Homo-oligomer: A and B are copies of this chain.
Amino acid sequence: MQGAARQSLTERASGADPSLDGKGPLFGQIKRAVAGQILRGRWQAGERLPNEEQLSSLYGVSRQTVHKAIALLAREGFLVRRRRAGTFVASVRNDRFALPIEDIGDVIARSGGVYEFRILDRKTLRNGEAIRWPDVPDGTPLLSLECLHLSDGAPIQFERRLVNLDAVPEVADEPFDSVAPSRWLVNQVPWSSAEHTVKAVNAAADIAALLGVEPGTACLSIRRQTVHLNRSITLVHFLSVGERFSLSGSSITDSATELNL
């Protein structure tokens, strides 16, 4: 269906482009062709590609189309481009391990468990009084929450959270009797950047008691700070029993997906 319709676009007489597969838009075909050369190792790291002019005559398309394909590949990290110097195969792909940011309730529900949460503690205070959140000015009103997440009745994650009441004043009126704080915040407050730290810790006695495990049990500790409009929104610390909780994710380059590599 695609192939036939495409020919009517511009009946290019030659069409002798052995490397293009004829599927989908031209710029996508170019992307696949070039990414294929790289992923299959034919164009080695650091090598210089033909320039846009050469590629355009090689593939029989206009420079704009080549430019779009190559610029996208550069944006995806396969290529590095320097004016006047040319286009090079990226020597190091600065790949990233991507983990989805999900509400734990969703995760539990999806895995078939029954999700519950309990608010263990809730108070408002000012920064610097009992707790200091370094990235927020002293004296800023904060909401402090402690919360336990359960799957099928078993404690699975302990959450300690600070919310900047200057940035999100509405949260003060929210009872959190049906919606968990994390979900409420995700739905309510957009964020523009988040920082995470993940480490492993041995459970202290009080946390262990809450989570129903022996003191010293390995727990995954996730600290997340969310920022929006130059203001810190929330600082949250999750502690989860190692046995019952893990993070997982995959990194797949778009081009690899297209190529079925």
Contacts and interface: CB of A to CB of B under 8 A. Distances in A.
Interface of A: 38-41, 92-101, 186, 190, 192-202, 216-221, 228-230, 240, 242, 245-253, 256-257, 259-261
Q: What 8 A-B pairs come out closest when comparing CB atoms?
A: A192-B256, A200-B242, A199-B246, A200-B200, A218-B218, A97-B99, A96-B98, A193-B252
A246 B192 contact: no
Given A216-B216, A218-B219, A259-B192, A96 B202 contact: no
A98 B97 contact: yes
A259 B191 CA distance: 13
B99 A260 contact: no
Contact of A194 (B194, B251, B259): B251
B194 A228 contact: no
A200 B218 contact: yes
A95 B201 contact: no
A110 B48 CA distance: 29
A42 to B, nearest CB: 11
Contacts of A195: 248-250
Nearest to A102: B94
Given A192-B256, A199-B247, A218-B218, 6 more contacts: A39-B192, A95-B101, A97-B194, A99-B99, A101-B251, A196-B250
A193 B99 contact: no
B229 A190 contact: no
B229 A202 contact: no
Nearest to A239: B200
Given A98-B97, A216-B202, A229-B261, A193 B242 contact: no
A245 B221 CA distance: 12
